[in-house]
Structure 1
Amino acid sequence: MTESPETGNRTSSYTGEGDTGTTVFGGHGLCSKHDVRVVAHAECDEANAAVSVAIATGGLPTDVTAMLVSVQNDLFDAEADLLTPLNHLEPASARVVPAHVERLERAYEHFAAEADDLSGMVLPGGTLSAALLYQARGVVRRAERAVWAAVEEYPDTVNPQVGIYLNRLSSLLFVLARNANVEHGDITWVPEFSVRDPEPDENA
């Protein structure tokens, strides 16, 4: 429950307006909840939550935590961007711009210098922090796909910079996950390991 600023009365925090499967989606107006723009926004929101869980473990270095907190702010920028069409008369609260992407690229280069194997042939997991960063990366990649679907369907109103940002963010999260496993060690992917014939015992 919330208090209405106009009347001071207690009001419900829900409106019930979405009970028909539609929602008023920012400057886009009334949309289906299955609309690709609404889905893209929701996926960015989930990506932000996934990053927050990785931070909450408390096992990350201070500079990594600070970077991820700034990423959370960027993801709010992305959500605000998606709410307002590019051709809208009113300006968006925030837009994702090339500088957002460039900042992530610099961070990637910085943290990649500390990583070991970036081949992608390492199984996700290891420390709790690494596992959650890998999971956050998976959520971000899903958000990226959703944004590109929205750009494809609404090229004149959805900002492609949001998709580019998410692409770079998934790469950064991979590097951060690799670094979180430096002291733990990794398990390398072995193709068809579970169905291979066992190696013969040379001492038999």
Structure 2
Amino acid sequence: MVVLNRIYTRTGDDGTTALGSGERRPKYDLRIAAYGTVDETNAAIGVARLHLAARPDVDAMLGRIQNDLFDLGADLAVPDREGKAERLRILDTQVERLEHEIDQLNERLAPLTSFVLPGGKPGAAYLHLARTICRRAERVMAELAAKPEERLTAAAVHYVNRLSDFLFVASRAVNDDGGGDVLWVPGQNR
């Protein structure tokens, strides 16, 4: 159980922050950037959910994802030094659930004939914003994983990759199952 009764500690005033292991790192450290960007993704999903009254199915999926993103943040906040999963880690079952929900939503979508521009209904537009933030989290995590001294679990990397796919499909679902998508018209404004 997490207890937060004091919000400021002043321990970060020197430009460092503590990982879940207690180790202090600069606030610009890649690991900090990774879970910070996951947190941004979560916040953008929260805004998207404000606009999903007409799609309670998608809203419920996003509620589960928001909880998963806290799990992912916890996973990233404790380095996996010896390949042990002694702390909270993202599991393959969470990735599999995302894949199932992508397939479930994708079944009803109109086939794509062009790339989709971010837009349409407000909920869809915010899901596109969350998708782009998620892609940034994925890039930061990939850079972090490429460092020999930094280990990430495969499931964490898979989860964030699958999440960006989910957010794309969910945006189309919210846009009247693809009927309200805004399509790219190449060279339209030449």
The alignment's TM-score, normalised by the length of structure 1, stands at: 0.82
Aligned equivalents of 1:28, 1:161: Cα separation in 2? 23
Query: Are the structure 2 counterparts of residues 153 and 129 from structure 1 closer, same or farther at C-alpha, using a change threshold of 3 Å?
Result: same
% identity of equivalent residues: 38
Query: Aligned to 1:131, what secondary structure does the other structure show?
Result: helix
Partner of 2:157: 163
- How many residue pairs match? The answer is 186
Aligned equivalents of 2:63, 2:133: Cα separation in 1? 17
> Which of 175, 178, 188 is 1:181 aligned to?
175
Partner of 2:67: 73
Mapping 1:11-160, distance limit 5 Å: 13-27=7-21, 29-87=23-81, 91-92=86-87, 94-118=88-112, 121-154=115-148, 157-160=151-154
Query: Are the structure 2 counterparts of residues 20 and 138 from structure 1 closer, same or farther at C-alpha, using a change threshold of 3 Å?
Result: same
CA offsets 1:73-97 (integer angstroms, 9 cap, x no match): 11011011111122368921x2111
CA contact (8 A) 2:138 2:161 kept: yes
Larger radius of gyration: 1
Query: Aligned to 1:27, what secondary structure does the other structure show?
Result: coil
Paired AA for residue 125 in structure 2: A
Paired AA for residue 152 in structure 2: V
Aligned equivalents of 1:189, 1:106: Cα separation in 2? 28
Q: Work out which structure has the larger RCO, using CA pairs closer than 8 Å and 6 or more positions apart in sequence.
A: 2
Q: What RMSD in Å do the two structures reach over aligned CA positions?
A: 2.4
Q: Structure 2: where are the runs of 5+ without partners?
A: none
Q: Which stretch of structure 1 is more off in the superposition, 174-183 or 133-142?
A: 174-183
Partner of 1:199: none
Q: Which stretch of structure 1 is more off in the superposition, 131-140 or 118-127?
A: 118-127
Aligned equivalents of 1:146, 1:194: Cα separation in 2? 34
Query: Aligned to 1:192, what secondary structure does the other structure show?
Result: coil
Query: Are the structure 2 counterparts of residues 120 and 177 from structure 1 closer, same or farther at C-alpha, using a change threshold of 3 Å?
Result: farther
TM-superposed deviation, 1:152: 1.1
The alignment's TM-score, normalised by the length of structure 2, stands at: 0.88
CA contact (8 A) 2:52 2:58 kept: no
Aligned equivalents of 1:121, 1:17: Cα separation in 2? 46
Aligned equivalents of 1:60, 1:29: Cα separation in 2? 45
Query: Are the structure 2 counterparts of residues 120 and 16 from structure 1 closer, same or farther at C-alpha, using a change threshold of 3 Å?
Result: farther
CA contact (8 A) 1:60 1:129 kept: no
